[in-house]
Amino acid sequence: MKILTVIGTRPQFIKASPVSHALIGAGVEEVIVNTGQHYDVNMSELFFKELEIPEAKYNLEVGSGTHGEQTGEMLKKLEPVIEKENPGYVLVYGDTNSTLAGALAASKLHILIGHVEAGLRSFNRKMPEEINRVLTDHVSSLLFCPSDVSKENLKKEGITAGVHVVGDVMYDIFRKFEHQFPDDNLYGEYCLLTMHRAENTTKDVLQKRIRQISEVALKVVYPIHPRTKKCLKEYSITIPENLVLIDPVGWLELMGLVKHTQFVLTDSGGLQKEALWHGKHCFTLRNETEWIETVEQKSNSIVREEDSLDVTTIYNGDFTNPFGNGNASEEIVDIIKNNFRDDLFVS
Ligand code: UD1
């Protein structure tokens, strides 16, 4: 019984870690393939180390490029690896180009696919992530949903077979490492910002977002993603005085920053939930969110690009967690085992 896992970006390293450990615990063989979509040491290697992810057997070293180049290169390199390893399932995570490439390559080779974080929808087809999610869900046999909302989204698209609400694997890892989040506050009174999405890094929108951030009457600490760093320079956008740029940090350090922040500003999916688990208010710098449960909990407010960023009303506190019990990974592995037959390959 062999599982082949395809990962390649920061959030996927985080999500795959607890599942890898659950697979080891259940005695299931896992072959990890790192597409190399993220390749800077502090965007990849650091995560393998600190999250105790087993070493990848393959690194495809695909790196950056246009969507077509990047996804195409991944497909080309994944195909022979999947063929050679001939796993029972290919496991993919989330909604990046690595997710789509893993799912497409496996489906063409008639290998069953398990999609972790299935059924999320922003209903904005201009987001590359939305295309990746929809396509991946439609070729997957096992769909692991973090909540009932994602299960309902799948139902509306006619997907009901193989759908399991297991909770969020990010909550598993949050619980596992909670006691290791750094205690020291390096920045005094501040708010934490992360921002890198394609829709926020066009010249026009990035200018608007930076203007919003400059209106916050507080120090804004920003571990900056290389994409946004490049865009700020390319568009000659002036960095406002309250913005403190730092290099990208590992996940534990980021959780330390969330622990001490007044509130969170982000366009990341994961951080919207991590803020909730930390009891911190999150302002999501997007026009919509897939994680509507966080908005219903009042822990999250959407800030559209045309809005002014009003941080006067902040809800910090003990929120109810709508994303499972912290045992999603074990449930995923149980479900895979129960649906695993060596003769299950589609002919
Ligand atoms: C990708 C995902 C996004 C996810 C994010 C997590 C897609 C379509 N998007 O976006 O959903 O939220 O990862 O971080 O898959 N770069 C570096 N070093 C690196 C990686 C990237 O310098 O290690 C720079 C390059 O200039 C590159 C740019 O960042 O062109 C964008 O990287 P890419 O992997 O294409 O997408 P992300 O913005 O990271």
Q: Does this model's pTM top 0.75?
A: yes
Same-domain pairing of 9 and 158? yes
pLDDT in tens, 44-62: 999 999 999 999 999 999 9
Using CB distances shorter than 6 Å, the residues near ligand 1 are 9-11, 37-40, 43, 64, 95-97, 128-129, 196, 226-227, 230
Q: How far is the CA of 62 from the centre of ligand 1 (A)?
A: 12
Three-point CA angle 147, 152, 154, nearest 5° = 100
pLDDT given for residue 345 in this prediction = 43
Residue 173 lies in a domain: no
Q: What is the mean pLDDT of the chain?
A: 96
Q: Is the pLDDT of residue 155 over 80?
A: yes
Q: Give the sign of the dihedral formed by CA 278, CA 282, CA 288, CA 293.
A: positive
Same-domain pairing of 195 and 155? no
pLDDT given for residue 313 in this prediction = 87
Residue 319 lies in a domain: no
Strand order in the sheet with 89-93: 58-59, 29-34, 2-7, 89-93, 112-116, 142-145, 163-165
Three-point CA angle 202, 122, 51, nearest 5° = 85
Same-domain pairing of 158 and 261? no
CA-nearest residue for atom 7, ligand 1, is 96
Same-domain pairing of 163 and 237? no
Integer Cα distance of 108 and 205 in angstroms: 38
Integer Cα distance of 248 and 183 in angstroms: 19
CA-nearest residue for atom 3, ligand 1, is 96
Strand order in the sheet with 219-223: 243-246, 219-223, 190-194, 264-266, 282-284, 300-302
Same-domain pairing of 329 and 208? no
Predicted confidence band at 33 (pLDDT cuts at 50, 70, 90)? very high
Same-domain pairing of 69 and 203? no
Same-domain pairing of 120 and 204? no
CATH number at residue 228: 3.40.50.2000
Q: How far is the CA of 227 from the centre of ligand 1 (A)?
A: 7
Q: How far is the CA of 8 from the centre of ligand 1 (A)?
A: 10
Could you identify the residue written with the tokens 């999405």?
Answer: 197
Quick check: 342 and 1 in contact, CB under 8 A?
yes
Told to judge if 196 belongs to the known catalytic residues of this protein, a careful annotator would answer: yes
Q: How far is the CA of 94 from the centre of ligand 1 (A)?
A: 14
Q: Is the pLDDT of residue 5 over 80?
A: yes
Q: Which atom in ligand 1 lies closest to the alpha carbon of residue 95?
A: 11
Q: Over pLDDT 90: what percentage of the chain?
A: 95
SS3 70: helix
Query: φ, ψ for residue 268 (rounded to 5)?
Result: -80, 150
Same-domain pairing of 53 and 154? yes
Residue 276 lies in a domain: yes
Residue 318 lies in a domain: no
Q: Is the pLDDT of residue 342 over 70?
A: no
For the chain, the domain total comes to 2
Same-domain pairing of 35 and 148? yes
Residue 144 lies in a domain: yes
Same-domain pairing of 337 and 258? no
Residue 164 lies in a domain: yes
pLDDT given for residue 1 in this prediction = 86
Same-domain pairing of 208 and 302? yes
CA-nearest residue for atom 21, ligand 1, is 38
Residue 174 lies in a domain: no
Q: Is the pLDDT of residue 276 over 70?
A: yes
Integer Cα distance of 120 and 117 in angstroms: 7
DSSP code per residue over 7-26: E-SHHHHHHHHHHHHHHHHT
> Among 39, 64, 202, which residue has the most ligand 1 atoms within 8 Å of its CB, making it the best to mutate?
64
**Exactly one of 115, 196, 278, 281 is catalytic; which is it?**
196
Residue 86 lies in a domain: yes
* Range(s) of the domain holding residue 102: 2-168+325-344
Sequence-distant (6+) residues with CB within 8 A of 7 are 13, 15, 16, 32, 33, 34, 35, 56, 93, 98
Same-domain pairing of 184 and 151? no
Q: What value does the mean pLDDT take over residues 315-344?
A: 89
Neighbours of 189 (CB within 10 A): 10
Neighbours of 68 (CB within 10 A): 9
